[in-house]
Structure 1
Amino acid sequence: MTPLQKLVILELICLAFGHVKTVKRNVTIGKCCALDEILTYEQKCIKSYNSSWDLKVYSNGSFVSFAGKLPPRWVVKEHLRPRCAKPVVEALENRRFVPSITGTAMIVEYDQKITPSQYCIDYNYVLFCPNNYSPEGYTSVLVKKCCGENAVYSEQNSTCVHFKNSSYNIDVGPNKTLGFGFPICGGSSFTVAGKLNQAHLLDNGSVLINS
């Protein structure tokens, strides 16, 4: 993750959580599998005796690393998964799922704050139920805006800048959800592919750019 991505994510998290107070009560957090198992991308549990926790948890305006352990007030319950037809699986290393010290979590791409009952964590992956999922599962196509709400990407400054204008609106159309976050790719820089007003958004979320 580049410094720019880290900064943007931290800004989004600060806006979503605000000031997180010290946890005074225990919080029950579901572990998707048993303690001696790991969750796979296919949402299956397999045995693993060498896995350990490596989480970055949001607390009071910054990220706190927990290596080999979890926050002290978190009580882990094995095999406790969220209840929805088709939970979304996300790799923890992508840092798009950000838990707070209170147990609530921010899903950066969906710009949603969810409760512990809506997710379970494991050593490598997290399963979560978005706030607007349907009984048939989450079928909406996610279209990402690089910068968060009230912000735009400045090509001159190579960063996100604050921009609040009621006339500025991105309409992704039906059956799509507008999320936030930069693409995940190698290297430390991105290339501006084109202008939004010169692009056409397809039903599957792909973009055609007129050059």
Structure 2
Amino acid sequence: MRKELDYFQIENALGWNQEWFQDWSMYDGGCAAVTACDLCIHLSRQKGQNLLYPYDAHRLGKKEYLAFSAIMKPYLHPSWQGIDTLERYLSGVTAYWRAVGADTLKADGLPGTASWKEAAQQIRERIDCGILVPFLLLYHKTPVFHDFQWHWFNLAGYEEFEEEFYVKAVTYGSFRWLNLQELWNTGYWKKGGFIRIFA
């Protein structure tokens, strides 16, 4: 079974490409803010949460996205260690929601210490509800995930087989299908996890 969400495009890229930033701090460490911006645009387009994006969510361009990212930046500001916990992300994104009056939105986090099967269940539920899932990966011992280390990205779909569960990871204007069990079992004690949004 496969389920994929409708993800917006900007100049043939899937969502925003972090390499388009001219602000070095955002180019290097703005991944959390990008997932939050993409999430807000998605919720505006798909869930009618029009307070989340101050421009036309159905006519997206680089100029407007850059202006929006400047609004989001103070809430999820890149630092020397990045937004490296679910709590920091939740604090920033919910503060932005309160600031714009989107008080009906709720969110919590599922830490990487949970089982991968519980993670699969929770991701399936959010995707089935039509909501993106911001995901944080910290260190990972498997080389195939090195491009995703210490990085936030959005999950925009899943594909389920008898014993395997794959997720569609969107980042840098593109996507990859990743085996969730392998992604989840990082081999390190310090874990990331993901954010669950209830709209």
TM-score range, shorter chain: under 0.3
Bigger Rg, structure 1 or 2: 1
Greater fraction of residues in helix = 2
TM-score, normalised to structure 2, is 0.26
Greater fraction of residues in strand = 1
Higher relative contact order (CA 8 A, sep 6+): 2
